[in-house]
Structure 1
Amino acid sequence: MKAKRIIGRLLAAVMAMSIISGVSTRNAYADSFKVVTLGADLSAKQKEDMLKYFGVNKDDANVIEVTNEEEVKYLGEAASKEQIGTKAISCSYVEPTSKDGLNISVNNISWVTESMIKNALITAGIKNANVKVGAPFKVSGTAALTGILKGFENSSGGKKIDENKKKVANEELVVTGKLGDKIGKDEAAKLINEVKKDVIKKKPKTEEEIEKIVVNITNNYGQKFSEEDIKSITTLMKKINGLNLDFKQLKDQLNGVAKSLKDKLNSEETQGFFSKIWNAIKSFFTNLFSIESNNVEVNFAIEQGNVQEYKTIRVCSL
């Protein structure tokens, strides 16, 4: 009898565990590594459209909402009410990975760039993830980072992020964006990355030492930065310095961002240079042969580094 009672209790326990397991399975997401955050103020149709854009549905991803109150919580000290807005619109797709770094893409985001987001995520302590940011219509994207970080925390592949790191990362995004309005977004991201790298590496002990780093680096950019610019960068870097980030752990990430920005800026500069030359040549020959009808073949050389590339243009003026 005693044996029967023991067996009966064991069977009851197994059945109970099976029921709990069944309920848990039904409520779990098929792939909780993937998280989509949706702006709480979007319409039902807009939310469905964003899920389609991210290529997921509610059955294969953890879908959560981000409110305007959450955005204000992390951006309130860095951005104005006008910049934050009164509605939560930005959406994000977050998939933490074990390698390949941070892969960022944006759509319908006008003020925040991939490089700005990547820089801020490094500050927040995220190393590997696939991230997409979007909206159903054009928005600044100021609050995008709030959704990304919430998404990361709510993924089974993510982890809880220090609240202070969240606020500093959001402030970094805003400071970079404001500088970008003056010197260009990629140039601003490059500058902030460079200053941050130096601050994390040297771990200055005073605000004066931080400001010296800021001034030394900004002087290399050929731009006239205002006292307010220097102060905002210094204040940001003081907060980043207070996070006690490990340079050895972040070195490769910071160098990777620097390299990609340098390549992008060099490419843009080269394209702009040749575009100006081409437009000048077209304008010259259009004006030169505007009176008579001629077919003229012109050879000219463009020097690229130590190599001269010869081009032939046939100008037809009718």
Structure 2
Amino acid sequence: MKMKKMLFALLTLAMVMPVTNVKADSEAYLVLGKDLNANEKATVLKLLGVENENDYNVSYVTHDEEKKYLSSYISASQIGSRALSSVLLEQMDTNSGITVETKNITYVTEKMYQNALITAGVKDVKLTVAGPFKISGTAALVAATKSYEIMTGKTLNNNAVDTANNELSVTSDVAKETGSKDDAADLVAALKQNVASMGDDYTREKGKEALKEIENKQNIQLNEDTEKKILDLMDKIKGINLDEDALKTQAKNIYESIKGYADIINKNKGILTTIASKVKEFLSTIINFFTGK
């Protein structure tokens, strides 16, 4: 009888004990470039910190997929002829934001990925991007959004994903003029916040005014063609209705660094709020006087 009770206790314990090695079920998602050869794949897995790919949900991104999403915005030479960019995507706690780490990626910076992922509608993830050697990394956004959809079971808005890919290209064009990819990413992020904060009040002209003021703040002057590309991008961003709070939550590090020029369009909001508050106070005093309060 004692033996039966012991066996029952052991079985019960086994049923409630936490299961280890559950990455393949929920925690991390691995998307590999379909054209990696064996040696390249081994290098990428090592860079991503993956010891055993069977511990992960694994899928692949093809060169055709890269061309489908990127060819409208990025040159064929940047896209390349093989799908090599690979990513490891991990779900993080709600409101923890997006963090990015790159390895062997030359064209796209961590800030650029972070900005674009927010535009695509991705939230609360840790993304690691790796190439088997120095590569542009343009296709990694395709892999990242693909893995996010698999991870969450939700389909991202096609227009948002397209806009995110467009954003990578535009930010790169800005970087060529500013000489700094970080400055370019900051400019795009600041203008995006302005567009989001304007809401239905946004017009292209207001976007242009905000862009000019941000350029002045950054002490740069972009050519008309680049400005047009930026404003075209902002028109698309307005169309996908980005949430301003989500922008700040998902990229805390970026929005900490652009406080000086992220709120250009709302610079008078504080003054107007103060005036409105004083008017309300004055009216309240009059009402209280006549009601004997």
Bin for the TM-score computed over the shorter chain: 0.7 to 0.9
1:251 Cα deviation after fit: 3.5
- Unpaired stretches in structure 2, ≥5 consecutive residues: 1-21, 261-293
Structure 2 SS opposite 1:64:
strand
Structure 2 SS opposite 1:59:
helix
Pair 1:61–1:96, CA change in 2 (3 A):
same
Higher normalized contact order (CA 8 Å, seq sep 6+, divided by chain length): 2
In 2, are the aligned partners of 1:197 and 1:254 still within 8 Å (CA)?
no
Q: Aligned pair 1:242/2:239, yes or no? A: yes
Equivalenced residues, count? 235
Q: Deviations over 1:57-86 (max 9, x none)?
A: 232111111111111121122112222222
Looking at secondary structure, tell me which structure has more helix per residue: 2
Which of 37, 41, 47 aligns to 1:43? It is 37
Inter-partner Cα distance in structure 1 for 2:79 and 2:252 = 31
Name 1:86's counterpart in structure 2.
81
- Bigger mean CA offset, 66-75 vs 201-210: 201-210
Q: Deviations over 1:181-223 (max 9, x none)?
A: 2210111111111000001110344333322222232232212
Inter-partner Cα distance in structure 1 for 2:182 and 2:239 = 26
TM-score, scaled to structure 1: 0.69
In 2, are the aligned partners of 1:32 and 1:60 still within 8 Å (CA)?
no
Inter-partner Cα distance in structure 1 for 2:205 and 2:258 = 28
Pair 1:181–1:143, CA change in 2 (3 A):
same
Name 1:276's counterpart in structure 2.
none
1:104 Cα deviation after fit: 0.8
Name 1:110's counterpart in structure 2.
106
Which of 125, 137, 140 aligns to 1:141? It is 137
Inter-partner Cα distance in structure 2 for 1:146 and 1:166 = 9
Name 2:121's counterpart in structure 1.
125
Inter-partner Cα distance in structure 1 for 2:79 and 2:187 = 24
Matched to 1:51, the amino acid is: L
Name 2:215's counterpart in structure 1.
218
TM-score, scaled to structure 2: 0.74
Larger radius of gyration: 1
Pair 1:262–1:210, CA change in 2 (3 A):
closer
Name 2:24's counterpart in structure 1.
30
Inter-partner Cα distance in structure 1 for 2:26 and 2:46 = 17
1:38 Cα deviation after fit: 1.1
Pair 1:106–1:247, CA change in 2 (3 A):
same
Aligned-pair identity in percent equals 40
Q: Aligned pair 1:153/2:149, yes or no? A: yes
1:229 Cα deviation after fit: 1.1
Inter-partner Cα distance in structure 2 for 1:192 and 1:64 = 31
Q: CA RMSD in A?
A: 2.2
Name 2:72's counterpart in structure 1.
77
In 1, are the aligned partners of 2:114 and 2:251 still within 8 Å (CA)?
no
Inter-partner Cα distance in structure 1 for 2:129 and 2:23 = 21
Pair 1:255–1:194, CA change in 2 (3 A):
farther
- Unpaired stretches in structure 1, ≥5 consecutive residues: 1-27, 264-318
In 2, are the aligned partners of 1:193 and 1:254 still within 8 Å (CA)?
no
Matched to 2:58, the amino acid is: V
Pair 1:158–1:190, CA change in 2 (3 A):
farther
1:159 Cα deviation after fit: 2.7
Q: Aligned pair 1:96/2:88, yes or no? A: no
Q: Aligned pair 1:174/2:169, yes or no? A: yes
Matched to 1:110, the amino acid is: T
Name 1:4's counterpart in structure 2.
none
1:51 Cα deviation after fit: 2.1
Inter-partner Cα distance in structure 2 for 1:166 and 1:249 = 16
Name 2:277's counterpart in structure 1.
none
Q: Deviations over 1:230-276 (max 9, x none)?
A: 1010011110010012223434335542215789xxxxxxxxxxxxx
